[in-house]
Amino acid sequence: MYSFGPIPRLKRSGRIIGTHQKINRVARRQLAPYLVTKLAFPSISEILHFEGSRGPDGIKMKSPGQDEPRHFVDPATVSAKSSLVIDVRDHGVNLTEALRSGNMERAAFEASWLAHAVTDGLTPAHHDPLDDQIKHMKATGHRKDKFTSRIVMTGHGSKKQFIKNNWQYWGTKGAMTSHALFEGGVATTVQSKTFRNVDLNPGDIEQLKKRGFQAMYIDMIKEVDSLKMYEQLKEDGWTHDLAVQTVKQLLPIIFRAVTLAWYEAYLNALSDKPKGKRAR
């Protein structure tokens, strides 16, 4: 999903503009009724500080091709051993430890990056093996060519292959064109929505305590894949039907996932803390 960064001279805009920012705001609002006074959780302002240029997407602009978080997953083979699921688990563990120690800056960082990974894994565009396609279409460039090698596919010494690879990447229905079109469509769709009436499904908390977030998350990835939204985009482009499906089906799943991921970390941190009154 797009998170964008701050607009020049409007440094706080990186906290507002972007799909990840919108999702985090809704999820933090959903989480509020489940928080207690005995244990603090970062505010939405603190969490959004680590999105945009300070989040995973910011690395792509600051050091393209170097140590970038890669949140792609194959729904057909996803398991507890998948790299994305491991990333989500690790951020959850780190968030629990930060909450227990009362380190709100660290907790805000982990909450933001956890939410980003969870969201990307539930984005249909991240179910397409973009990384594998890129590796197939380009050779590894030198360090000074890192940025160029991310936007221009090589031809492995052949001009014909060079043209073919770049068309498969940037052309109509190309790998990156489709990826960007889907995420751009979602970003445009969500900006005009408030999502004030969304909430966790009945039984979500019970399932979280019984099964754990990891098992629920894997099920959610498969649920999103069953919607076949990315296949529809490749066939027809971004349509009104896809926009409606995004609002009514895709985003509610993502809101639930981020809220539950945060809440599991919170419950784990709270496990050795005395219970108190609920606080918003």
Work out the pLDDT band at 251, boundaries 50, 70, 90.
very high
**Concatenated DSSP letters for 159-199?**
HHHHHHHHHHHHSTT-HHHHHHHHHHHHHHHHTT---TT--
Q: What is the largest CA-CA distance in the chain?
A: 68
Q: What is the pLDDT of residue 165?
A: 61
User: Minimal CA–CA distance to 198: which of 8, 25, 60, 47?
Assistant: 25
- Residue pair 36/270 in contact (Cβ under 8 Å)? The answer is yes
Phi first, then psi, for residue 36 (nearest 5°) are -120, 160
Question: Rounded to whole angstroms, how far apart are CA atoms 178 and 195?
Answer: 26
What are 176-227's pLDDT values in tens digits? Answer: 677 688 888 898 898 878 898 888 888 999 999 999 999 999 999 999 999 9
264 or 194, higher pLDDT: 264
pTM of the model: 0.78
- Output 98 or 14, whichever has higher pLDDT: 98
- Average pLDDT of the chain is 80
d(CA 95, CA 15) in angstroms, rounded, equals: 20
Query: Could you give the angle at the alpha carbon of 116 between the alpha carbons of 237 and 29, nearest 5°?
Result: 100
Residue 5: predicted pLDDT: 44
- Angle among Cα 4, 253, 249 to the nearest 5 degrees reads 95
Q: Which residue has the higher pLDDT, 231 or 11?
A: 231
Instruction: Give me the mean pLDDT over the 130-144 stretch.
Output: 49
